[in-house]
């Protein structure tokens, strides 16, 4: 298994020095405006996209082009691995198409084309014909179930939950085949952190225990609905996880949430925790992990650029922008 990735790891190691480091991110965050941010990007491998950029408000085109390039190149190196990470785009597209068809809202601008494993046209056909038989098993089951449920109760939230659960169940099956303890652990942590965030959102919305149980994702280490009850104060959640690996994320994230009614801090801490886990891949010389690390590093980098550009366009103070930034991989 590891030997088949030897060449691909070598290729990725050559790409890693081109990732944006803290110095570049700081320069961008401290730039006077969005135009200066783009000038900094002009010193990096993003420079090839700038010549055709109409204006600063179109900066997402740069990020889309880079995301497409990275997935295209990585898929050539390790198609089975990349298909695991590309799966989220398939489920995202199915969600958009289903809601568009059922709610009559045309949102083609939200579709992510040519990155996922399933062509958008194929997903659109499944939704329009209400025939999910040609889709992967988990997606097929979720499609049929959400179609039936929507007839009885047209709740978009239920659609989101069904597709999220199917996606992570399918991912868990793929990870078993990949046989990478590190990546399996990464997704376990991801699910735990998502479930904690779901608990916080459900509690704020004053939804039922039954709704929470439906919303929680499978495959995590924590049994959130048994760990803490919705009627209990948030301090109980902090106390129950005090000696877990999530202690700092939960304590600081939840305390900030209580003061601001915003999950922004929790989300940043969770992202940094996940990045710290995958950074271990930098020290491996074989296997799929360094490839996954690079792919996740790139996605994190694109998120950082988006945070900075949105902040500059909206004239947010530099310190406020920096507060929202995640760590970097390099």
Among candidate residues 179, 195, 226, the one where a domain is terminated? 179
Q: Which of 179, 203, 229 is the last residue of a domain?
A: 179
One domain for residues 33 and 56: yes
Write down which residue in 286, 302, 321 finishes a domain. 286
Same domain, 41 and 135: no
Counted domains in the chain? 3
Instruction: Say what the pLDDT of residue 225 is.
Output: 84
Alpha-carbon Rg for the chain in angstroms: 21
What local confidence, expressed as pLDDT, does residue 92 receive? Answer: 97
Is 175 found in the same domain as 101? yes
**Are residues 274 and 198 located together in one domain of the fold?**
yes
Taking only the tens place, the pLDDT of each residue in 34-55 is: 999 999 999 999 999 998 899 9
Q: Which two tokens stand for residue 316?
A: 């947010």
**Residue 42's CB: how many other CB atoms inside 10 A?**
13
The token duo for 65 is 């082009």
Does one domain contain both 168 and 191?
no
Q: Kindly report the CATH number assigned to the domain that includes residue 257.
A: 1.20.1690
Q: What is the DSSP string of 208-225?
A: -HHHHHHHSPSS-S--HH
Statement to judge: residues 101 and 73 lie in one domain: no
Q: Which helix (H) or strand (E) holds 15?
A: helix 6-15
3-class DSSP state of 329: coil
Judged against a pLDDT cut of 80, whether residue 326 lies above it is answered with yes
Q: Examine the domain organization and report whether 167 and 191 are in the same domain.
A: no
Q: How far apart, in whole angstroms, are the C-alpha atoms of residue 212 and residue 99?
A: 22
pLDDT of residue 233: 95
Q: What percent of the chain has pLDDT over 90?
A: 88
CATH (domain of 34):
1.10.132.50
Q: How far apart are CA 240 and CA 229, in angstroms?
A: 11
Domain span at residue 213? 181-286
Q: Are residues 206 and 233 in the same domain?
A: yes
Q: Is the pLDDT of residue 104 over 90?
A: no
Report yes or no: 292 and 175 within 8 Å, Cβ to Cβ: no
Mark whether 245 and 318 lie in a shared domain: no
Percent over 70 (pLDDT), the chain = 99
pLDDT at 1 over 60: no
Helix (H, G, I), strand (E, B) or coil at 158: helix
> pLDDT at position 2, please?
59
pLDDT in tens, 71-103: 999 999 999 999 999 999 999 999 999 999 988
Q: Are residues 123 and 90 in the same domain?
A: yes
For range 229-241, the mean pLDDT: 94
Strand (E) positions, the chain? none
Q: Please check the confidence at residue 158 and state whether its pLDDT lies above 90.
A: no
Query: What pTM value is reported for the model?
Result: 0.94
Q: Give the separation between CA 17 and CA 318, rounded to whole angstroms.
A: 26
Asked if 13 and 110 sit in the same domain, the reply is: no
**pLDDT of amino acid 105:** 78
| Per-residue pLDDT reduced to its tens digit, 180-204 | 999 999 999 999 999 999 999 999 9
Domain match, 113 and 151 both: yes
């Amino acid at each position: 298994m590891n030997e088949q990735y030897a060449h691909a790891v070598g290729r990725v190691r050559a790409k890693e020095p081109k990732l944006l480091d803290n110095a570049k991110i700081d320069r961008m965050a401290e730039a006077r405006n969005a135009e200066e941010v783009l000038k900094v990007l002009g010193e990096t491998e993003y420079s090839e996209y700038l010549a055709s950029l109409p204006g600063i408000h179109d900066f997402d085109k740069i990020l889309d082009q880079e995301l497409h390039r990275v997935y295209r190149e990585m898929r050539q190196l390790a198609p089975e691995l990349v298909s695991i990470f590309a799966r989220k785009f398939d489920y995202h597209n199915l969600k958009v198409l289903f809601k568009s068809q059922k709610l009559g809202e045309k949102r083609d601008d939200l579709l992510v084309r040519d990155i996922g494993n399933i062509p958008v046209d194929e997903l659109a056909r499944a939704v329009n014909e209400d025939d999910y038989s040609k889709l992967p098993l988990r997606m097929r089951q979720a499609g049929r179930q959400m179609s039936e449920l929507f007839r009885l109760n047209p709740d978009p939230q239920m659609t989101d939950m069904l597709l999220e659960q199917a996606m992570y169940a399918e991912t868990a099956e793929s990870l078993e085949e990949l046989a990478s303890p590190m990546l399996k652990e990464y997704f376990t942590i991801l699910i735990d952190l998502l479930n904690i965030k779901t608990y916080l959102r459900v509690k704020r919305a004053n939804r039922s225990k039954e709704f929470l149980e439906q919303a929680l994702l499978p495959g995590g280490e924590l049994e959130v609905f048994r760990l803490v009850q919705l009627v209990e104060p948030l301090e109980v959640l902090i106390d129950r996880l005090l000696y877990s690996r999530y202690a700092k994320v939960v304590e600081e994230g939840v305390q900030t949430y209580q003061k601001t009614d915003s999950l922004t801090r929790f989300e940043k801490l969770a992202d940094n925790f996940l990045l710290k886990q995958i950074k271990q891949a930098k020290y491996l010389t074989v296997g799929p992990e360094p490839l996954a690390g690079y792919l996740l590093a790139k996605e994190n980098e694109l998120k950082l650029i988006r945070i900075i550009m949105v902040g500059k366009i909206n004239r947010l103070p530099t310190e406020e922008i920096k507060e929202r930034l995640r760590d970097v991989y390099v």
